[in-house]
Amino acid sequence: MPFNLAILRSDKTDEIMEMYDDQEEWWVGGHSLGGTSASIYASDEHDKINGLFFLASYPNDGSDLSGLELPILSITGTQDEIINRESYESASSNLPLATELYQIEGRDHSNFGYYGFQNGDGKSLISREEQHEEVTERLDDFIRSRQ
């Protein structure tokens, strides 16, 4: 990824799918701009994927997914001071009505990754490990319930 920003290579998904062409199901998503990048891919290539997830993220204005019958999960946290709440709410019009929203109490933006504290973020009330565990469990439940 250029500069470690998925948003600069939303087309990379096809390359990965070709590398693992024996896979029958594909769920795409990401954290922050990674989720936005996944929404760009999903809006163009929704027939290639089984579902989409956002981790402290939302689709960009050009990714209207509202008419798709695609399972979508959005996970946010109560301590996230990075995500633009107004833009997040506005972007919901680009999502199907059946989009599942899940909020982790005490979770911040930075602890989705391992890149350290992001300036301007809130203070997490749970450990990064606890946050990762809850996100993993929620994603696993979401995907398994749709297979």
The whole-number pLDDT of residue 130 equals 94
Eight-class DSSP state of 69: -
Strands (E), 3-147: 27-31, 51-55, 72-77, 100-104
Per-residue pLDDT of the chain (147 residues; tens, 9 = 90+): 444 545 556 677 888 899 999 999 999 999 998 999 999 999 988 899 999 999 999 999 889 999 999 999 999 999 999 999 999 999 999 999 999 999 999 999 999 888 888 999 999 999 999 999 999 999 999 999 998
The whole-number pLDDT of residue 116 equals 85
Apex CA 110: angle with CA 108 and CA 114, to 5°?
135
* d(C-alpha 110, C-alpha 97), whole Å: 28
Written as six digits, the tokens of 91 are: 């972007």
The whole-number pLDDT of residue 10 equals 60
* d(C-alpha 32, C-alpha 111), whole Å: 12
Apex CA 114: angle with CA 110 and CA 120, to 5°?
25
In order of their start, the domains of the chain are 2-144 (3.40.50.1820)
Strand order in the sheet with 51-55: 27-31, 51-55, 72-77, 100-104
The whole-number pLDDT of residue 137 equals 98
The whole-number pLDDT of residue 6 equals 52
The whole-number pLDDT of residue 45 equals 87
Strands (E), 32-108: 51-55, 72-77, 100-104
The whole-number pLDDT of residue 1 equals 44
Model confidence, pTM: 0.90
* d(C-alpha 112, C-alpha 75), whole Å: 10
